[in-house]
Amino acid sequence: MATPRLVILISGTGSNMEALIRASAAGELDGRVVAVFSNRPDAGGLAIAAKAGIATEVINHRDFADRETFDAALAERIEAHQPDLVILAGFMRILTASFVRRFRGRLMNIHPSLLPKYPGLDTHQRAIDAGDSEAGATVHFVTEELDGGPAIVQGRVAILADDTAASLASRVLAIEHRLYPYAVQLFCSGRLTMNERGAVLDGQQLPETGVVDAQLQRVAG
C-alpha cells in the first residue's frame, strides 16, 4: 500500500502537529504529513511545519462570508493534497455538516477531556469545578455532532488538589502527544476504520471510551 498521506489542520501552537511530524520523521508512523493548514495567519505551528519542510497554507476564515463558503474552500484545498486522513490538531473552527460528510471516516480530532464528558471549551476548568478526580484527552473520529464522534483512544491523568486549569492542561497535553501518534498509526497501518456504529479496531467494534492503554497513560518526566 502507498504511504498514507496526512493533512493536519491547526489554529495555534501546533504541539500535537509537531508530535505527529516527529513521529513520522522517526519512522514511528507509516504515514507522511503532506500539508498543514491554518485558518489563522499567526498560528505558531506554521513555522514549525515549514521548518520541517512541509507545505503550509493559510485559509483565513475572515476572508469568507460564511462558514459554508470557508469550509468549501478549505475542503477543495485539502483535496488537492489527496489525503488519506485529515487530522484536526487544535483547529478551533466548528466544521459544517457538508465538510464532515465529505471526509467521513478519514477525519480525526483530539479533544482535551474524557469524552463524552465536557465537549466544547474550558474542559480543564470544568473538570476541576466539578470536583472530578481525573481528566484526560480523547482522540475520536469526527461526525456531525460536536466532539461527539466515536472515540479511538483515551488517556487519563489524576487531578491534583492544587491543580489550576493551566497546570492540568500541561499534563494532559503531554498525554495528548502520545495519544495522537498512536491513534494515527492505528489508522495508517490499516487496523482502524469507522462504520455506522462507531470505531472498529482489528475488526472489533471499540467501546465508548475507545482503547484505554496503560502504556499511554504514563507521562514522561
Q: Which of 21, 192, 34 is nearest to 106 (CA)?
A: 192
Residue 112 contacts ligand GRF per CB under 6 A: yes
Centre a 10 Å sphere on the Cβ of residue 21 and count the other Cβ atoms it contains.
25
Residue 16 contacts ligand GRF per CB under 6 A: yes
Three-state secondary structure call for residue 8:
strand
Residue 56 contacts ligand GRF per CB under 6 A: no
Task: State the residue number with the nearest CB to ligand GRF.
Answer: 90
Q: Determine whether 111 is an active site residue.
A: yes
Q: Which of 158, 138, 156 is nearest to 148 (CA)?
A: 138
Span near ligand GRF by CB under 6 A; candidates 9-17, 46-54, 153-161, 211-219? 9-17
Residues near ligand GRF (CB under 6 A), total:
14
Span near ligand GRF by CB under 6 A; candidates 6-14, 48-56, 70-78, 202-210? 6-14
Residue 110 contacts ligand GRF per CB under 6 A: yes
Cα angle at 94 between 168 and 212, to 5 degrees? 45
Instruction: Write down the least CB distance from residue 159 to ligand GRF, Å.
Output: 16
Residue 137 contacts ligand GRF per CB under 6 A: yes
Position among 4, 8, 15, 143 found at the interface with ligand GRF (CB under 6 A): 15
Residue 87 contacts ligand GRF per CB under 6 A: no
Minimum CB distance to ligand GRF smaller for 58 or for 200 = 58
Centre a 10 Å sphere on the Cβ of residue 61 and count the other Cβ atoms it contains.
17
Q: Look-up: residue for cell 497554507?
A: 57
Residue 136 contacts ligand GRF per CB under 6 A: no
**Residues contacting 173, CB < 8 A, separation 6+:** 15, 112
Q: Residue 126, class by beta-carbon neighbours within 10 Å (0-12 exposed, 13-18 middle, 19+ buried)? A: middle
Residue 211 contacts ligand GRF per CB under 6 A: no
What is the strand order of the sheet 204-205 is part of? 192-195, 198-201, 204-205
- How far apart (Å, rounded) are the C-alpha atoms in residues 142 and 65? 24
Minimum CB distance to ligand GRF smaller for 7 or for 10 = 10
Options 61, 81, 111, 124, the catalytic residue: 111
Subset of residues 168 to 197 that bind ligand GRF, contact rule: CB under 6 A: 173, 176
Chain CA centroid to CA 111, Å: 7
* Catalytic residue numbers, as ranges: 111
- Give the footprint of ligand GRF on this chain (CB under 6 A): 10, 12-16, 89-90, 110-112, 137, 173, 176
